[in-house]
Structure formats: structure tokens, C-alpha cells
């Protein structure tokens, strides 16, 4: 008598499980780009912790998606711009999982306005979430990575950092800061088994870009050699590659995934 083999978790079949039991934290990992990254890591067998700021609906949907993949997962509400919340968030992951292999600094916001209308609060908030958040989260995980002589830190920057964009002085400065931060930290960590890189997505269809007016959307599409926005899943390959063992000799780099935009 033959039994038909039914995979227990069909979504996880046929994978090489490159990240089996690797422990990952993706900030802002509950929607848009971060959600796609979290699910991709989970499909490859990783334990995935995702943090978010306030969108509870996306958070519970992502948590359900991770559970469906049978991933060991943690859902953490924390403001990345707050030192105490970041320390508590990373501390709770380390308490439960002992160490972390991979940090993706993905949480980010925009507050777009021409400089003449941009108030100091909008400047500060973008710098605090995007740049200070990257510093705080990296600092919070680094000791545990150094102790094990292994780590991957990947931070999300933007084409605005490379080419500038009218209406984004605050955002482009914060994302440019992430590139400089990445390059300096990569040098501090280079002999300790920890690589530090940045990924620069182009214009990707996520909640961040869904409210663009038609004129802006068309202008952007015309600027992209491939003639279309990317999807979150277009970016995950670069993230997983840089996080993998295969990318162990790559550090201090910025990898653009932008349809040729930059």
C-alpha cells in the first residue's frame, strides 16, 4: 500500500532553506518591503522577528503569514527612534533566541516638502526614524554579533540619497547618512566576521508610494529605464544574497535594485 506524501507546510517545500535557523530581525517588517523580506527569510527557514511602529492590521497579517510558513517568529512593537524601545526590543529577542545573525534596518518614513516649507519637526522626525533608528538598532545588535564573530547588517537607503530629489532634503539627507554610516561601520566590523551593506531600492509599489499623484507617478516611470515601478519581491533577492554566507567577502557596499534608475 502506498501513501501519497502530503507536505505538511507546502509553502516551504522545494527550498534549499539557505537560512535554516538563522535569526533575523527586520525593522518595519510588517508591510511593504519589510514584509516581503520577512516572508522571504521565513520561506528559507529563518527565525524572523519583525518590528513595527503602529499599523496593527498589517502587523497581525504579517504575523499570520509567518505562522503559515511555520516560521519561528516574533512580532515587536517599537519606535526605532527611541533608545529605550530599541534596547527593549532587541533585548527581548536576545532573551528568547540567544543571538541574532542578521539585522535589516528597513523602518523608514518620508515627510516630503520643499525646503522653504519644511519645518524643523519634519526634518527631525525623518532623521530620527531613518538615520538615528539605523544607528540605535545596529548598536543594539552588534555586541551579540561580535561575540559570535558573525553578522550581517543591511540598511535600506534610497535613490534620493544618490541623486537628490526636490521635496526630499530631509529624506535624502537621512538616506545619504545611512550610506556613510554603512561604509564607516563596515570598516569597524571588517575583521570581526560582520558585513555591513546597504540596499538601494528604486521606486517600489508599497504603502509609501501608493498615494503619489498621477503626474508624479508618470514622471517617475519615465525616469526608470525599465519603465515600471518595482514590486517588494524584486528587492528581496538582493537582501537575501547580502545576508547569505555567499556574500561574506562583500562589505561597505550599496547595491541598487532600481530598474536602472541610478
Among 134, 206, 236, 251, which residue interacts with ligand NAD (rule: CB under 6 A)? Answer: 206
Per-residue mark of binding to ligand NAD, 102-141 (x: CB under 6 A): ----xxxx-------------------x------------
- Residue of the chain from 24, 25, 33, 38 that contacts ligand NAD (CB under 6 A): 33
Please pick, from the candidates 45, 151, 201, 259, the single residue that binds ligand NAD as defined by CB under 6 A: 201
- 55 near ligand NAD (CB under 6 A): yes
* Contact pick of 12, 63, 75, 209 for ligand NAD (by CB under 6 A): 209
91 binds ligand NAD (CB under 6 A): no
CA angle 251, 158, 58 (to 5 degrees): 105
Indicate whether 79 belongs to the interface with ligand NAD (CB under 6 A): yes
What separation in angstroms does the CA of 175 have from each of 32, 33, 130, 138, 198?
18, 16, 7, 15, 10
- Which residues contact residue 199 at a Cβ distance below 8 angstroms, ignoring those fewer than 6 apart? 154, 155, 156, 157, 235, 238, 239, 242, 254, 255, 256, 257
Cα-to-chain-centroid distance, residue 129: 13
Binding mask 219-248 toward ligand NAD (x if CB under 6 A, else -) reads ------------------------------
Near ligand NAD by CB under 6 A, which window of 13-21, 26-34, 144-152, 249-257? 26-34
User: What's the farthest any 2 CA atoms get from each other in the chain?
Assistant: 77
Interface with ligand NAD, residue 32, by CB under 6 A: yes
The side-by-side arrangement of strands in the sheet containing 254-257 is 73-77, 47-52, 23-26, 102-105, 151-156, 194-201, 254-257
Taking contact as CB under 6 A, which single stretch among the options 74-82, 135-143, 237-245, 247-255 is the one that binds ligand NAD?
74-82
Catalytic residue positions, numbered:
171
The Cα–Cα gap between 207 and 218 comes to 17
CA 173 to chain centre: 18
Applying CB under 6 A, among 25, 28, 141, 177 the residue interacting with ligand NAD is 28
65 near ligand NAD (CB under 6 A):
no
Q: How far apart are the first and last CA of the chain?
A: 60
C-alpha grid cell, residue 120: 524643523
Give the CA-trace dihedral at 82, 241, 40, 220, to 10 degrees: 70
* One residue of 145, 204, 239, 242 binding ligand NAD per CB under 6 A: 204
Comparison of 150 and 179: residue with beta carbon closer to ligand NAD: 179
Interacting residue ranges for ligand NAD, rule: CB under 6 A: 27-28, 30-34, 51-53, 55, 79-81, 106-109, 129, 156, 158, 201, 203-204, 206-209
Amino acid at each position: 500500500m502506498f501513501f501519497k506524501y502530503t507536505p505538511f507546510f507546502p509553502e516551504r517545500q522545494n527550498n534549499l532553506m539557505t537560512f535554516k535557523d538563522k535569526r533575523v530581525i527586520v525593522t518595519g517588517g510588517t508591510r511593504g518591503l519589510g514584509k516581503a523580506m520577512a516572508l522571504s527569510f521565513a520561506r528559507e527557514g529563518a527565525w524572523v522577528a519583525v518590528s513595527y511602529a503602529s499599523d496593527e492590521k498589517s502587523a497581525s497579517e504579517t504575523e499570520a503569514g509567518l505562522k503559515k510558513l511555520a516560521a519561528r517568529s516574533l512580532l515587536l512593537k517599537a519606535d526605532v527612534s527611541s533608545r529605550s524601545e530599541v534596547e527593549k526590543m532587541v533585548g527581548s529577542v536576545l532573551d528568547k533566541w540567544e543571538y541574532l545573525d542578521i539585522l535589516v534596518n528597513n523602518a523608514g518614513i518620508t515627510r516630503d516638502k520643499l525646503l522653504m516649507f519644511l519645518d524643523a519637526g519634519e526634518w527631525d522626525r525623518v532623521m530620527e526614524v531613518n538615520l538615528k533608528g539605523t544607528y540605535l538598532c545596529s548598536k543594539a545588535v552588534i555586541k551579540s554579533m561580535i561575540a559570535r564573530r558573525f553578522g550581517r547588517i543591511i540598511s535600506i537607503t534610497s535613490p534620493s540619497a544618490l541623486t537628490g530629489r526636490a521635496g526630499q532634503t530631509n529624506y535624502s539627507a537621512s538616506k545619504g547618512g545611512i550610506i556613510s554610516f554603512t561604509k564607516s561601520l563596515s570598516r569597524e566590523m571588517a575583521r570581526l566576521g560582520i558585513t555591513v551593506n546597504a540596499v538601494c531600492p528604486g521606486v517600489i509599489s508599497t504603502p509609501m508610494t501608493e498615494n503619489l499623484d498621477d503626474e508624479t507617478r508618470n514622471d517617475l516611470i519615465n525616469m526608470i529605464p525599465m519603465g515600471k515601478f518595482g514590486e517588494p519581491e524584486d528587492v528581496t533577492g538582493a537582501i537575501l544574497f547580502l545576508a547569505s554566507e555567499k556574500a561574506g567577502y562583500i562589505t561597505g557596499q550599496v547595491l541598487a535594485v532600481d530598474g536602472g534608475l541610478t
